[in-house]
Structures are given as structure tokens and as C-alpha cells.
């Protein structure tokens, strides 16, 4: 299927649905002692990694701590991390690809604001994933007394000009 999609739609960025991956954790890791802790830790790593390096480091520690180095499913997931892990997709729009991620998973976010470029970026990646600025970014803009949001954050699909 992957090859067919790439052949038919070569310019499209192909990715996996993170919700479906996370939903498989109980069935794929149920046989391991402390599988609930494994699921919780994996979610933390996937959704709270602030950089690709921290994801890689945390993933390796996770495998070591839970004795999962020989798990084929996790090895395969790691090899394909660039098409499902949020931090690897931070510059691409991926609407709806993390359908039911609970907001309780996210506890703290670093928001960067460049006043010269009028650019704001939050680690929660809501804008990159859904095309909507998150409350964290909007709070920083408010704190910085930005009176008008840059047009780059108002996507055509959210404007009155959209063709229906």
C-alpha cells in the first residue's frame, strides 16, 4: 500500500496515524510485566519530547528500563519514527492524525516568539497538526501585546475566501 500511495501521490507527505499506533500498545505489549507503566511511559516520550535528540535518548532509555530491546514491534516503530512521532513532523501539517490525544498528557510547553519575524511556535504543535493556533501561543502573543496575528497563521480554509 505504501508503494502504491507513493506512486500515485508522490508529492504528498505520507504518515501514520498516531492514535492508531497508541491504541495498539495494550495488545502489542500486554505480555510484559508492568504493561500499564510501559504504555504511560511510551505516551510521555512520544508526546512530550522537545527535540528529536531527546526523543531518541528517551526512547532508548525506555527500551532499556523496561527490557524491551528485543521487541520487534517497537524496533519497527522506531525505524519509522519520522512518519508518526510528533516532533519529527513538526514542520508539516497533519490534520486529524492524532484524533484523541488527551490534553492531560501535555503538562508544560515551551513557546518561542520571534518578534522580528512575527513568528510563534509551541511544542504542542497544534498549529502544525490542525492549522489552529493553540492557547499557549495565543497567550504569549497577548503577553507580548501583539494586536494582530500574522496572516501566516490564518489559513485559507479558515477564512471567508475559502472555496466551498
Spell out the residues 6+ positions from residue 34 whose beta carbon is closer than 8 angstroms to its own: 66
Provide block-wise average pLDDT over 10 residues at a time, the chain (164 residues).
Answer: 75 76 87 85 87 94 94 94 82 46 45 82 87 88 86 85 73
Instruction: Please tell me the predicted confidence (pLDDT) of residue 78.
Output: 96
Instruction: Please tell me the predicted confidence (pLDDT) of residue 20.
Output: 84
C-alpha to C-alpha distances, 155 to 16, 26, 59, 128, 162, nearest whole angstrom: 24, 37, 34, 11, 9
Instruction: Please tell me the predicted confidence (pLDDT) of residue 76.
Output: 95
Q: How far apart are CA 26 and CA 66, in angstroms?
A: 15
For cell 494582530, the residue is 148
For cell 512521532, the residue is 85
Instruction: Please tell me the predicted confidence (pLDDT) of residue 108.
Output: 67
Instruction: Please tell me the predicted confidence (pLDDT) of residue 54.
Output: 92
Across the strands, what pairs with 111?
A: 122
Amino acid at each position: 500500500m505504501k508503494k502504491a500511495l507513493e506512486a500515485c501521490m508522490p508529492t504528498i507527505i505520507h504518515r501514520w496515524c498516531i492514535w492508531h499506533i497508541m491504541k495498539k500498545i495494550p495488545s502489542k505489549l500486554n505480555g510484559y510485566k508492568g504493561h500499564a507503566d510501559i504504555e504511560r511511559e511510551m505516551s510521555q516520550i512520544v508526546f512530550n519530547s522537545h527535540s528529536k535528540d531527546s526523543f531518541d535518548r528517551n526512547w532508548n532509555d525506555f527500551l532499556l528500563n523496561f527490557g524491551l530491546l528485543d521487541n520487534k514491534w517497537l524496533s519497527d516503530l522506531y525505524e519509522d519514527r519520522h512518519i508518526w512521532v510528533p516532533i519529527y513532523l513538526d514542520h508539516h501539517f497533519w490534520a486529524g492524525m492524532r484524533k484523541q490525544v488527551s490534553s492531560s498528557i501535555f503538562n508544560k510547553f515551551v513557546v518561542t516568539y520571534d518578534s522580528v519575524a512575527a513568528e510563534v511556535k509551541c511544542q504542542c504543535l497544534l498549529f502544525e497538526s490542525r492549522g489552529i493556533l493553540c492557547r499557549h501561543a495565543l497567550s504569549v502573543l497577548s503577553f507580548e501585546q501583539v494586536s494582530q496575528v500574522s496572516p501566516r497563521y490564518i489559513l485559507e480554509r479558515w477564512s471567508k475566501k475559502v472555496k466551498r
